[in-house]
Amino acid sequence: METGNAEKSRGIRLLHWGLVLLLMVLACHWFRSGGISYPLLAAYHLVMLFLAGQFLLGDYGIDLRKGNGPVGKNVLWGVLLGAAAAAALGVIVLCLALLGVGGISVFPWLGRPGCLAQNALYFLQQLWVPVTEEALFRCYFYTVLLGLLHHRKAAACLVSFLFALLHLVNNGIWFQFWVAFGLSLFFFWIRGKKRGNAFLLLTVAHAAYNCIQKLLFLPIGYP
């Protein structure tokens, strides 16, 4: 009887994960087919954040709101780690540009078309998208795959691959794939060093990285 309940519970967990993956695939197709407005993008992220939080809590007993530790400490370390990741990417892109591979656009937001409100929404997006991505990838997907593979490094690498693949599908740029893959592994390294729930720390680090990188420079000319 217990074995049957365990199999049923596992089946429900996989069904939930499959639902999230299906919604993600459909959203990627939707985005690439004709773009999406900020309100619809925000609605999509809210739905995915809700599902990740509910499935983590219901299927695994993990509450993203608890066990994060002091808010101030998480914010401080998150900003520092995100800035370090952005600086590392900046050095890599600059070195590649000096070698004649790709290029770099400094302060790209100055040349962004559109009104002030559109630019403000763009940078606001860099703050709230990481909330969903961290809940989905470094928390929910990682928990699911860890339960299936029983190997932390393998689960982290597979999640990082899925995270990078999402960026490749959305942008069509292989350089973004490798940047996203490396960034995800760095975030998993942070997660491994953090005692307790790392959701808040990872979210702040991801948001800081996004804002600093897109505010200061943009890699260009990559396939």
| Mean pLDDT per 10-residue interval, the chain, length 223 residues | 58 93 87 73 91 95 92 95 96 91 77 65 85 97 95 98 92 91 97 90 96 87 76
What's residue 50's pLDDT? 96
**For residue 167, is it within any domain?**
yes
Element (H, E) at 103: strand 103-106
CA-angle at 147, arms to 198 and 158, nearest 5°: 70
pTM attached to this predicted model: 0.91
Q: Which residues pair with 106 in a beta bridge?
A: 217
- The whole domain housing 75 covers 67-220
**For residue 152, is it within any domain?**
yes
**For residue 74, is it within any domain?**
yes
**For residue 142, is it within any domain?**
yes
Q: Identify which of 186, 197, 15, 9 has the alpha carbon closest to the alpha carbon of residue 86.
A: 186
What's residue 31's pLDDT? 76
DSSP 104-164: EEESGGGG--S-HHHHHHHHHHHHHHHHHHIIIIIIIIHHHHHHHH--HHHHHHHHHHHHH
What's residue 124's pLDDT? 83
Q: Identify which of 2, 23, 11, 4 has the alpha carbon closest to the alpha carbon of residue 59.
A: 11
Q: What is the tally of structural domains in the chain?
A: 1
